[in-house]
Amino acid sequence: MKPTPQDIVIQTTLDLIRDRFAKMPATIENVRAAIVAVEYALIGVAEIGKSNCGYWVDIFQKSIGMHGAPWCLAMQQYVFKYVASFWLFPDLLPFDTASTQALWRWADQQDLTVSTFDALYSCDLVIWRDGSRDLGHVGCAVTDPNYAERNTITLIEGNTSTADWRDGGHVAEKVYTEGELNMGISRPDKRWCRGAIRFDKLYDMALHGATPTA
């Protein structure tokens, strides 16, 4: 699929972000800032043609070798891989899957998860589950919790829309209150937020070369 002028603008922006951050030390603060910058650069990406297709959607899926798959997680996989390349890190998210629930189970086995709002930080990956089904959604926190503004946190999500939590076909910024997330409370009849995968632990894993359990 040929890129549109907007696709080319996004790629140029990503290249500029890479060039700027690659000159900086690989501190956790700089890596966090790079992820947030890339997340914001991708706002506006949308499917083209049929569901789960499009210039950038194809790139996201290719990053994990899963063409045609639902892409909310493929987008986050791409972002973490792209930012890792700035500093020649091993993969910051070393479990290639398009399944949010498979990723959650893997992360939980590694002791990388939290299930309370006050434990969230920027670049944590927030995971939802669709009732009792093995389906779900993911968004990347691009702020720490804002306790001055009704206990809110801002996420950027792929394959979403302003009206739907998954399968919306766009990359969008969303703001949630602590009550809306209601983390860790299982709801077999509707979507619920399982919790989040901690970025600081993913960073430590990459920085120190820890080998995750498959």
pLDDT at 109 over 80: yes
For every residue of 156-184, DSSP letters joined together read: EEEEE-SS-SSS--EEEEEEEEHHHH-TT
Separation between Cα atoms, residue 23 and residue 30, nearest integer Å: 10
Model pLDDT for residues 147-202, shown as the tens digit of each residue: 987 899 999 999 997 665 556 789 999 999 999 999 988 877 788 899 999 999 99
The residues facing 128 across adjacent strands are 137, 193
Model pLDDT for residues 133-151, shown as the tens digit of each residue: 778 999 999 999 999 878 9
Spell out the domain ranges in the chain: 5-208
Query: Homologous superfamily of 5-208 in CATH?
Result: endopeptidase domain like (from Nostoc punctiforme) (3.90.1720.10)
